């Protein structure tokens, strides 16, 4: 039997925030049953049980991508062993492992991942499945580090795919539609140190006219703005070489730690002193030991081809006043192209514009319509795990391998055991 099955709303299991809502609290899962298998055999028992199932990782998605009316499978109890292959320069991790667990293990053995997202609390499988990313002109999405993937299909059989296999590039950013990820193999490299520093006072004209000059000479760059002023709020630099400059294209280095959200506690933020430290303690914005951000928020993000980034940013500046009442902050980052079919960085270098909103769904949706009206015609692709309003036809136009992914899904899961209402909306048929 499965070790831990809770029926939401029934006496067999109590509904609590930790079991039936996402991290932000804006989604209450509609699953009739919550399963927490602790072995692959227990997982197989649930997957082949005759009901629709969805995987649930660290619960950091802001839409209903992980929801289901069937069985919601928490991956946190799955085998989480971490195995480093030094000869291959790869690490094998179980399906429920988070970056916050993985990174210290790698660091202790002298290894590193090339990049991390802004917070380490998220699961590796969930980040990979949704195309999550960090920043840096030379850094691809986190999914691009995947060299191998094990997926349990609707029949309970585990399919192993490696880089170079026919279905590999279609399966890595899989939205949970192709099976439950039970193991991932990731590329690693020797550990490295970075410094981080923050700059204020950069004019918007510099960002628009000299974006390449801001990002090309640094390992990772994040630009924070509320779109309300002639200057951006902050520019965060993270670099492996040299030392923080006193000025950056007219911006001045801050002498105090800064949180990207006004009046938020800087204790949660990774070191900004310019002192060098391990990659796992500099690449994320948030420290592992602190709860990231403020919790009660929504997030959206759109990745636009780098070639049209100036036009996209200018369009968003025009819309800035309409966001004022609901926006907390926006973040601008760059990501290198990859070849994964449903990656928002598929086929082109991109600039990602992330929005942290107040947790006001109706107000956010009303703002997203004009944002998408401006950005989608430029080829923008929304982050799969965040809030967007684009429909299937609009999404299909921006992904050249969209139909190929739909055909792959029909081949590996013809009964849509891993389907849900969210997938029905974006992948009809």
Domain ranges across the chain = 5-74, 82-191, 193-385
Decide if 190 contacts 155 (C-beta within 8 A).
Answer: no
Could you tell me the pLDDT band of residue 7, with boundaries at 50, 70 and 90? Answer: very low
Lowest mean pLDDT, pick from 11-15, 82-86, 195-199: 11-15
pLDDT mean across residues, the chain: 94
DSSP per position, 116-165 = --S-TTSBHHHHHHTT-----TT---GGGGEEEEEEE-TTSPEEEEETTS
Rounded CA-CA distance 130/94 in Å is 17
Q: Write the CATH number of the domain with boundaries 5-74.
A: 3.30.43.10
Parallel, antiparallel, or unpaired: how do β-strands 297-305 and 381-382 relate?
antiparallel
Tokens of 225: 């703005």
- Tokens coding 356: 């942290």
Write down the pLDDT at residue 336: 99
Please tell me the predicted confidence (pLDDT) of residue 283: 97
In the prediction, which pLDDT does 230 show? 97
> In whole angstroms, what is the distance from residue 144 CA to residue 166 CA?
16
Looking at residue 182, what is its pLDDT? Answer: 98
Q: pTM, whole model, 2 decimals? A: 0.94
The reported pLDDT for the residue numbered 292 is 61
Q: Which fold has domain 82-191?
A: 3.30.465
Q: How far is CA 259 from CA 136, 199, 226, in A?
A: 20, 12, 14
Average pLDDT over residues 264-268: 91
Instruction: For residues 6 and 419, give the distance between their C-alpha atoms in angstroms, rounded to a whole number.
Output: 21
Of residues 6 and 236, the one with the higher pLDDT is: 236
Specify burial of residue 110 (Cβ count, 10 A radius: 0-12, 13-18, 19+).
exposed
Looking up tokens 């969805």 gives 54
Find out whether 353 and 316 touch, Cβ atoms under 8 Å. yes
Going by their DSSP bridges, the two strands 111-112 and 158-162 should be labelled as unpaired
pLDDT tens digits, one per residue of 311-333: 999 999 999 999 999 999 999 99
The token duo for 72 is 């919601």
CATH number for region 193-385: 3.30.70.2520
Lowest-pLDDT choice from 6-20, 59-73, 189-203, 403-417: 6-20
The pLDDT of residue 8: 34
The answer to whether the CB of 199 falls within 8 A of the CB of 252 is yes
- pLDDT recorded at residue 429: 62
Q: Could you give the CA distance from residue 200 to residue 223 in angstroms, rounded to a whole number?
A: 10
Question: Is 424 a residue whose pLDDT tops 80?
Answer: yes
Burial of 382 (0-12, 13-18, 19+ CB in 10 A): buried
pLDDT digits (tens, 9 = 90+) for 61-105: 999 999 999 999 999 999 999 999 999 999 999 999 999 999 999
Look at residue 375 in the predicted model and tell me its pLDDT: 99
Helix axes 361-375, 309-318, angle to 10 degrees: 140
Q: Choose among 274, 287, 209, 203: nearest CA to 236.
A: 274
The DSSP secondary structure of 2-24, one letter per residue, reads -S-EE-TTSTTS---HHHHB-TT
> Given a cut of 70, is residue 212 above it in pLDDT?
yes
Mean pLDDT of 214-242: 97
Q: Give me the pLDDT at residue 289, please.
A: 84
Backbone conformation region of residue 176, classed left if phi is above 0, alpha if psi is from -120 to 50, else beta: left
357-415 pLDDT tens trace? 999 999 999 999 999 999 999 999 999 999 999 999 999 999 999 999 999 999 999 99
Q: How confident is the model at residue 10 (pLDDT cuts 50, 70, 90)?
A: very low
């Amino acid at each position: 039997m499965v070790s831990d099955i809770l029926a939401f709303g029934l006496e067999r299991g109590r509904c609590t925030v930790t079991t039936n809502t996402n991290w932000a609290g804006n989604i209450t899962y509609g699953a009739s049953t919550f399963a927490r298998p602790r072995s692959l055999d227990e997982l197989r028992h649930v997957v082949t049980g005759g009901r629709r199932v969805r995987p649930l990782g660290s619960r950091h998605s802001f839409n209903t991508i992980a929801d289901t009316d069937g069985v919601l499978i928490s991956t946190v109890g799955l085998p989480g062993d971490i195995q480093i292959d030094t000869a291959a320069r790869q690490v094998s991790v179980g399906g429920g492992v988070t970056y916050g667990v993985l990174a210290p293990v790698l660091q202790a053995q002298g290894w590193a991942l090339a990049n991390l997202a802004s917070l380490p609390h998220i699961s590796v499988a969930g980040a990979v499945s949704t195309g999550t990313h960090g920043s840096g002109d030379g850094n691809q999405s986190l999914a691009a580090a995947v060299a191998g993937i094990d997926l349990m299909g609707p029949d309970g059989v585990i399919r192993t795919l490696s880089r170079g296999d026919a279905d590999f590039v279609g399966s890595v950013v899989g939205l949970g539609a192709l099976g439950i990820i039970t193991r991932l193999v990731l590329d690693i490299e020797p550990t490295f140190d970075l410094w981080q520093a923050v700059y204020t006072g950069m004019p918007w004209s510099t960002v628009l006219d000299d974006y390449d000059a801001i990002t090309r000479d640094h390992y990772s760059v994040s630009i924070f703005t509320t779109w309300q002023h002639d200057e951006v709020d902050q520019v965060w630099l993270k670099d492996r070489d040299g030392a923080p400059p006193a000025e950056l294209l007219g911006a001045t280095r801050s002498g105090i730690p800064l949180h990207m959200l006004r009046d938020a506690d800087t204790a949660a933020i990774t070191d900004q002193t310019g002192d060098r430290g391990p990659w796992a303690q500099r690449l994320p914005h948030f420290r592992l030991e602190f709860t990231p951000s403020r919790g009660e928020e929504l997030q959206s993000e759109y990745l636009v081809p780098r070639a049209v980034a100036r036009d996209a940013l200018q369009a968003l500046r025009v819309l800035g006043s309409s966001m004022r009442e609901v926006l907390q902050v926006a973040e601008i980052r760059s990501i290198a192209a990859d070849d994964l079919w449903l990656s928002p960085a598929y086929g082109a270098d991109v600039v990602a514009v992330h929005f942290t909103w107040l947790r006001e769904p109706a107000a956010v949706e009303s703002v997203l319509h004009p944002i998408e009206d401006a950005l989608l015609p430029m080829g923008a692709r929304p982050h799969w795990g965040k809030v967007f309003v684009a429909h299937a036809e609009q999404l299909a136009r921006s992904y050249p391998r969209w139909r190929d992914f739909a055909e792959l899904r029909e081949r590996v899961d013809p009964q849509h055991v891993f389907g849900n209402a969210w997938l029905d909306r974006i992948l009809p048929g």
